Structure 1
Amino acid sequence: MNAEQLSPSAETGLTAAEAARRHAEFGPNTVRVRRDRHLRDRLLSQARDPMILLLVAAAVIASVMGDAVDAIVISFVIVVNTTVGVVQEVRAAHAIDALADLAAPMARVRRDGADLLVPAAEVVPGDVMVLTGGDVVAADAELTEAVQLQVDESAMTGESMPVDKSAVTGASMPVDRSVDEHPDQCRVRAGTVVTHGRGTAVVTAIGAGSTLGRIATLLAEQKPRPTPLQTRLARLGRVLALSVLAASAVVVSLGVLRGEPLWEMLLVGVSVAVAVVPESLPAVVTLALALGARRMAQRSAVVRNLPAVETLGTVSVLAADKTGTLTEGRMVATRVWTPAGTEYEVTGEGYAPLGEIRATGGSAAGSPDDLAALLRAAVLCNDAHLVPPGEDTGWTAAGDPLEAALLALAGKAGVDAAGYRRTYPRVREVPFDSTRKRMTTAHDTPDGGRLVVCKGAPDVLAAMIGDTAAGTLQKAQELATAGYRVLAVAEFRGAADEQATESRRSAVAEPRQASGEQAVETRQGSDKQVAETRPTADDQVDEAERGLRMLGLVAVADPPRSHAAEAVAACRRAGIRFRLITGDHPAAAAAVAERVGIPATATQVLTGPQIAAGVTPERLTAARVFARTLPEQKLDIVRALQQEGHVVAMTGDGVNDGPALRRADIGVAMGRGGTEVARQAADLVLTDDDLRTVASAVEEGRRVYANIRRFLRYGLSGGLAELLVMLAVPFLGPAVALQPAQILWINMLTHGLPGVAMGAEPPDPSAMRRPPRPPRQSILSGLLTPIALTGTAMATIATALGAWAWLTGAPWQTMIFISLGVAQLGVALAVRAPRPHGQSRLRFLDLAVLGALILQIIPLYVAPLRQLLRVEPLSPRDLLVTAALSLIPGAVLALTRHRATRESTR
């Protein structure tokens, strides 16, 4: 539906009656598309999770056995896990609600021939919106009038520069974009901001049908995906459940066949189930994730979804947004060229007028006169201002970012912008528009002459000047191909101005650092006086434009962040592939990718229109740079990578990134410069907006996963040892190797503090030099053989000790009890993470093992505990022999790992 179909008259707008009718027909202009779910429904949804069901089963078993401590701990873990799931679901809803905050609270519309200020929710299709600088666009609309209109669409499209807009009739394109590349020049989107000029537009889409509404719908459709860890643990839980049932059935059957009471054997069977299932695994996982989240927060990464901590360790592809993520999100003049062939390199960051301008090519030392003239023109033909740093902000731009970049450039050469504007008062101007593709201003000179300066598209100014056209256009094309936004600057001077020039050049010839006061424009009273007499284009300015002299070219770009290349390199060393996804221009995207270390050939750069026209899945996943992408296409890219088996992390800061952030396995949002929509949709928020923090988070994720696998190796080998002892001992004489209370005591000690302490083990120094593990790899991959060998070794020693004690009349059950406990604690010390070089202090795991060992032995000599566990005191000799033999599996394992580590470092 276009403007002509919707509005009978752009001059008078809708009538009040027609607006009311359309409001009733189309509904309010809001983007909220979700229905609130009752808390009960959210809780029931979480309760159906296999992990929660496994926890509930473990809690029931512990309660049946009278183990109140285990039952309480497991119940607490159930509550924590359920709460995390509900919070995640609520957070997804808030990501959609945050879109409503972007909508304009009020809108100026034309009805019955009068301009009215109405709530944005009351805007209807066909309304004529009146737009001025600073307005938030209330709905998608088609422009019927545009005067120097510029709109900041970065949050919606990723375009780093404000976009020039034109009316539907007589429109022409911006200076460096073609119609095919930028088809939306005559339209404005809901949620974007008018930065300059004025215009009128006829509303074509509201609410769910607008750009904001479409993105809200996409967000609502992206359901939280289970993390790789959740998937692996659910699979493990099913395997363990079947194993537990089978093992318990065998133990119960053997006992009944030997004449033991059925009820007692059922209790023993339940105890075996508790022994085999590492019931503290959820607590270990939760604590490991919580500790990881805490450590990440200390490194400027706030985790919004706890399982995301581990998922970071599995990331195989990092899809990074360009503007504001890999780049600073600010325009900076970084290259200057003059017709004499001199090239300059500009240092400094952002809009701060601090840095240097150094000649790097052309004539030996460059031409100070040419550079001084160019900088003077850039200051005079300019309406922007630089705002000094505040308590929490750096230098910022007031006005057009491109013009602010020119002011910062001049400030780096020591140019006093305010002084120049007083010395050369503006008397005429022709503002920039998309038809002329240039801005021209005329100024009085101190000697009474006239100075005309002009900036604009290189092709337009070169065509007007003629003599230097070939060299200018060649250099402009070279810079544009490198991803820069290129401006040409020219001037025309009268004779009187020529005589006075030499005396002024010395003041600006030597580049130096400018003070903040010099670089800040403070035009007040003089500006007001000039503005009152300032007309638009006239014959004198047009005639002066025909005599312009080319001063040079300024290349402006949104530069990469200072540490972006370092972050990319760190992730690539860890085997993580990079993809750059942006709504910006292909040349700018490819240039930034090259500078940060993501080289891409021509076939590895895809644009949104190419994707819309259709590309093969192979080419889609092989591409490294994606430009001019829509929110739907970002989703398609993420889905394609996931279908290839990748675990995808997506970084972004804009509204247009929201759906992809939700769809990705890990969504990473910028905390400082990002939008609230992006933060709400993400799993991880970088409070420092530094991509290096992602590399640190990946390392933390790998640490968490390694610690969980470490506990599984330890816990399952201990459970296997207990199971094998329960199966083997009846064939040697005794009916039951261990009583239910004894099994629970061993598990409480070995899976308690030592198991939880494993979640705090330090990272492996080589973790970030290895590729990510395959996403479909089992969590027990590579561990089954070590678990079987270690468990069998512990069971063999415990069974042998029990058999010897049975034959000699020693307290055989007590010796088995002590042996299994001590053996598992020895394995805990053997499987711990390598000690960092030069560190010798005790770890939490060391203290936990020591405490568990004391508690394992105390019941032998404390009467109440001895009666509860039905154990007997051991002589010092028997205790020493039992403990020494039981430590053999751990000692062998430690020596084996130490030898393997030494061989791998050779």
Structure 2
Amino acid sequence: MWFSKSSKEVLKELDVNPATGLSNQEAQKRLEKYGENKLKAKPKKSLLSLFLAQLNDMLIYVLLAAAVITLVIGEYVDAIIIILVVLINAFVGLIQESKAEKAIEALQQMTTPRTLVKRDGEIKEINSEHVVPGDIVVIDAGRFIPADIRLVESVNLQIEESALTGESVPTDKDSNTIFEDPKTPIGDRSNMLFMSTLSTYGRGEGVVVGTGMETEMGSIAKALDEDVDEMTPLQRRLDELGKVLGFICIGICAVIFIVALIQGRELFDMFLTAISLAVAAIPEGLAAIVAIVLSIGVTKMSKINAIVRKLPAVETLGSVNVICSDKTGTLTQNKMTVVKHYVMNHLKDVPAEGAGFKGSDDENELIKSFVLCSDATYENGQGTGDPTEVALIVLGNRHNMTKNDLNQKYKRVGEKPFDSDRKLMSTLNEEGNGYRVHTKGAIDNILQIATHALVDGQVVPLTEELKQQYLQITLEMSNDALRVLGAAYKDVDSIIDADEMENGLTVIGLVGMIDPPRLEVKDSIAEAKMAGIRSIMITGDHKNTAVAIARQLGIADSIEQSLTGAEIDQMSDDEFAQKINNYRVFARVSPEHKVKIVKAFKSHGNIVSMTGDGVNDAPSLKNADIGVAMGITGTDVSKGASDMILTDDNFSTIVHAVEEGRNIYNNIKKAVIFLLSCNLGEVICIFLAILLNWPIPLIATQLLWINLVTDSLPALALGMDPGDKDVMKEKPRDPKESFFANGAGFRAILGGTLIGLLTLGAFYFGLVEHGHYIGEVNMPEEAITYARTMAFVVLAVSQLFYSLTMRNSKKSIFQVGFMTNKLLIGAIIAGIFLQFIVISVPFLADAFGVQMLTLFDWGVVLVFSLIPFLVNEAVKGFMRLKDK
């Protein structure tokens, strides 16, 4: 009962010093002893169960039944081929599913929450899974609680425990409370923090008392691992399409069977043909191909620093036409540097390098307040914490006022953490025989609550004239694209509550700092503009500062394109929505304004991406079509609410992700249209032959072989196409757009019709070449076999060649480049080689009912097979001329 013991007793029992934490060696020993800090996941499916799942399909059952019937009647070769095709198909599905699962597992590893712990006297950020009992955990606003923790220290700490208790209102926590009643309810244990709950305010430190299944979460066996097989909207649409096509094909097969019955054909052969055609015509491989392309795509995106948490985001990325981005760290380098400081009547530049500067008493008071009123650290050239605070610590170091020295001399005894609504932070520190409040934040907010000012060492009333001087200097700094922070103080006799800190303050002065734009962002914004995407800057900075940076980056042209949070508040929601398209910069905004901005852009039918990193950014991230969290500065809350995480916090990564998302969607579309063309070609060929009372041009085993080899391999290669380098010159895709829009449906029908008719043509050519004609009575089996061989090879090779022209819906293959997708070239060569093996190796030729072709016939095959490819290239050429 950790909650009934004092923090000292708990620390002693777990053998840990709260100042230094565990040693790395001890932590490793405990990790081996207690295991990783995670709940037991659902047992993974075995390879056998995954394999059997591939066979769980009605058409496969029918095919297996057909195999059994062929065995019974002694057609062993046909039975073996049918079973082999089913097994190979299942193995391909198994490999694809395993790859998709591994990719998703890898992404889950990359999005595992991180935890701040003390190890060997240093604060380190580690994966939550590596937290062990006895670890000293540092908690700040926005972090998930990684394990069950007994608090050792807390300041205004609030925890949202709905994941455990169902209570959505955050609970106040107090490290000093002890509960003697062993039956104290979980929700009342204010000295304890529990795994999977969320810190929303304040800060604290605690010692881990339970991990993994030994936590409260573990005791109620709440499984955290979510099912990852949820289908994306695209997969659902394709699954529905597959079902519709399936019913159509089954209908066609039924018609074929009835017509064959009327025509007096061999019923068993027609039964096999109808079943094989149904299996070949229904694109059951669609879902598998989409899954593998999506999983490979998200793995590829993770390598460019964009971790996609939710697969539907990949589809949505291609439709994004508004990117709302934070300024600091995303558009800029996140390396704040103080370049000016001001106390009344004294504005000074801070030299670029060096240390040991001596300032006036007022300047020293200004810097002292900034350093004491911060939680960042800076040691050995490395800073942790907010970049703005790091810049202030560096300023203190250069004036020989280090944070460690000041903290020892002026011990902190209270604080009021930064709040995005107040835009202020205050600390209460010991000062002589009394205490001093140090406040830093937005200078205009400080001026609203201050009553005095420090002028040349004297405290004087804060007049309107003095206020205007501070505001004038703020304006000048902002016009130079500097971020301005003010500092103030108040002396008190005793420790006061946080609510009493921020009133009656004395203004000391202000500093101007700059975070220069990222060098690559300007080009990315230009690229986004070319792609029909508007870039919007959202910042808590002063309007002039924001506009100055926006101008440098090409986001805005003038200050008229900017709006402040206060100005947003003066508009009604309808008025704001009407005017939203006039603005490119939103300054001095709160998280609530972010939600308004997202909703206003979405009201015009825009697909909006929004970045965020704070606890309060979660609502805007959820409201956006693509919520983007910062991987470096982002809180666990913002990451949990997001669809995508940027591991480098860089705006350019969003643009690269949009490009990748567009190419992934296009690749899926290519693969699907190609498969439908091939399947349609097979259906047309068989259906027309039966309606015209021709001999069957393709037998069941040949159809199954083609479905396996010449459909699947090129479709997968198309799904992994390198993509179009000019994809960002096109407008964003309308999310409501049909999958068959922009001529895709026409291309599928055209390709399928040509492939089907040419296969019939090849069959006819084979008969005529042997001196026979359609309708001839007692036609020799040798002639039909030769004609079927021609049809078999033309159907396969025409599909393989046709895959080349599917690489781009507008550009010629000569513009795209034949060798830019080596996987596809490999699939085509492998397909032709396998066709050659099947017709030239005697026992395979006998099994598939084919024979060797002459050199002349191979020439005919190539001519027939190239026609769908050439026609589609001609259609694209005509479309390009029409566009010009």
> Which category describes the TM-score, using the shorter chain as reference length?
0.5 to 0.7
The CA RMSD measured in Å over matched residues stands at 6.1
User: What's the offset of the Cα at 1:723?
Assistant: 1.7
The answer to whether structure 1 residue 573 and structure 2 residue 530 are counterparts is yes
SS of corresponding position for 2:511: strand
Contact 2:293 2:668 in 1 (8 A): yes
User: What's the offset of the Cα at 1:341?
Assistant: 8.8
Contact 1:317 1:648 in 2 (8 A): yes
User: What's the offset of the Cα at 1:672?
Assistant: 2.6
CA distance in 1, matches of 2:867, 2:88: 32
Aligned runs of 1:299-698 on 2, under 5 Å? 299-320=304-325, 325=330, 332-336=337-341, 344=349, 376-380=364-368, 382-383=371-372, 387-388=377-378, 394-396=382-384, 405-409=391-395, 415-417=399-401, 457=446, 460=451, 464=461, 469=466, 472-476=469-473, 478=475, 484-487=483-486, 553-556=510-513, 566-578=523-535, 594=550, 598-599=555-556, 610=569, 615=574, 618-619=577-578, 625=586, 627-630=589-592, 645-658=605-618, 661=621, 665-698=625-658
Corresponding residue for residue 846 of structure 1: 825
User: What's the offset of the Cα at 1:803?
Assistant: 2.3
Contact 2:232 2:311 in 1 (8 A): no
For 2:652, the aligned partner's letter is: R
CA distance in 2, matches of 1:128, 1:702: 46
The answer to whether structure 1 residue 794 and structure 2 residue 755 are counterparts is yes
Alignment partner for residue 149 of structure 2, among 105, 112, 116?
A: 105
Corresponding residue for residue 815 of structure 1: 790
Cα deviation per residue 1:487-521 (whole Å; 9 max; x = unaligned)?
A: 2699xxxxxxxxxxxxxxxxxxxxxxxxxxxxxxx
Aligned runs of 1:73-88 on 2, under 5 Å? 75=90
Cα deviation per residue 1:239-264 (whole Å; 9 max; x = unaligned)?
A: 42343233323322332221124443
Corresponding residue for residue 245 of structure 1: 250
Cα deviation per residue 1:608-633 (whole Å; 9 max; x = unaligned)?
A: 99599865794597586493235xx8
The answer to whether structure 1 residue 778 and structure 2 residue 738 are counterparts is yes
CA distance in 1, matches of 2:471, 2:628: 41
Contact 1:669 1:686 in 2 (8 A): yes
Corresponding residue for residue 238 of structure 2: 233
Corresponding residue for residue 712 of structure 2: 752
The answer to whether structure 1 residue 873 and structure 2 residue 852 are counterparts is yes
Q: How many residues are treated as equivalent by the alignment? A: 699
CA distance in 2, matches of 1:103, 1:619: 47
Cα deviation per residue 1:277-298 (whole Å; 9 max; x = unaligned)?
A: 3333333323322332232222
For 1:408, the aligned partner's letter is: V
Distance 1:641 1:249, change over 3 A: farther
CA distance in 2, matches of 1:880, 1:822: 12
Aligned runs of 1:109-120 on 2, under 5 Å? none
Contact 2:631 2:647 in 1 (8 A): yes
SS of corresponding position for 1:751: helix
For 1:258, the aligned partner's letter is: Q
Distance 1:656 1:442, change over 3 A: closer
Corresponding residue for residue 15 of structure 1: none
SS of corresponding position for 2:697: coil
Corresponding residue for residue 209 of structure 2: none
Contact 1:818 1:882 in 2 (8 A): yes
Distance 1:431 1:668, change over 3 A: closer
Corresponding residue for residue 707 of structure 1: 667
Distance 1:899 1:244, change over 3 A: same
CA distance in 2, matches of 1:696, 1:256: 58
Corresponding residue for residue 256 of structure 1: 261
**Structure 1 gap segments, 5+ residues each:** 1-35, 111-119, 133-137, 142-155, 157-188, 197-218, 348-353, 358-368, 444-451, 491-533, 538-548
TM-score (norm 2): 0.63
SS of corresponding position for 1:879: helix
CA distance in 2, matches of 1:57, 1:719: 18
User: What's the offset of the Cα at 1:268?
Assistant: 2.0
The percentage of counterpart residues that share the same residue type is 27
Corresponding residue for residue 193 of structure 1: 202
CA distance in 1, matches of 2:632, 2:671: 37
The structure with higher relative contact order (CA 8 Å, sep 6+) is 1
Distance 1:291 1:592, change over 3 A: farther
Aligned runs of 1:14-25 on 2, under 5 Å? none
CA distance in 2, matches of 1:130, 1:297: 40
Cα deviation per residue 1:127-165 (whole Å; 9 max; x = unaligned)?
A: 996689xxxxx9999xxxxxxxxxxxxxx9xxxxxxxxx
CA distance in 1, matches of 2:600, 2:230: 15
User: What's the offset of the Cα at 1:310?
Assistant: 3.9
**Structure 2 gap segments, 5+ residues each:** 1-38, 68-81, 115-127, 130-142, 155-162, 177-184, 189-196, 206-223, 418-423, 441-445, 454-459, 495-505, 773-782
SS of corresponding position for 2:734: coil
Contact 1:55 1:279 in 2 (8 A): no
Contact 2:103 2:295 in 1 (8 A): no
Corresponding residue for residue 720 of structure 1: 680
SS of corresponding position for 1:105: strand
TM-score (norm 1): 0.61
User: What's the offset of the Cα at 1:852?
Assistant: 0.1
CA distance in 2, matches of 1:879, 1:859: 14
Contact 1:716 1:787 in 2 (8 A): yes
User: What's the offset of the Cα at 1:788?
Assistant: 2.1
Moved more, 476-485 or 747-756: 476-485
Corresponding residue for residue 841 of structure 2: 862
Contact 2:273 2:700 in 1 (8 A): yes
Moved more, 633-642 or 226-235: 633-642
Distance 1:191 1:735, change over 3 A: same
Moved more, 608-617 or 666-675: 608-617
Distance 1:869 1:648, change over 3 A: farther
CA distance in 2, matches of 1:860, 1:221: 49
Cα deviation per residue 1:428-484 (whole Å; 9 max; x = unaligned)?
A: 9999999999999999xxxxxxxx999975675556477972761341562698794
SS of corresponding position for 1:734: coil
Distance 1:238 1:385, change over 3 A: closer
Distance 1:700 1:428, change over 3 A: closer
Contact 1:428 1:536 in 2 (8 A): no
Aligned runs of 1:264-279 on 2, under 5 Å? 264-279=269-284
Contact 1:302 1:685 in 2 (8 A): yes
Cα deviation per residue 1:792-845 (whole Å; 9 max; x = unaligned)?
A: 222332222322333423422221111111111111122235578899577111
CA distance in 1, matches of 2:228, 2:709: 40
Corresponding residue for residue 194 of structure 2: none
For 2:590, the aligned partner's letter is: R
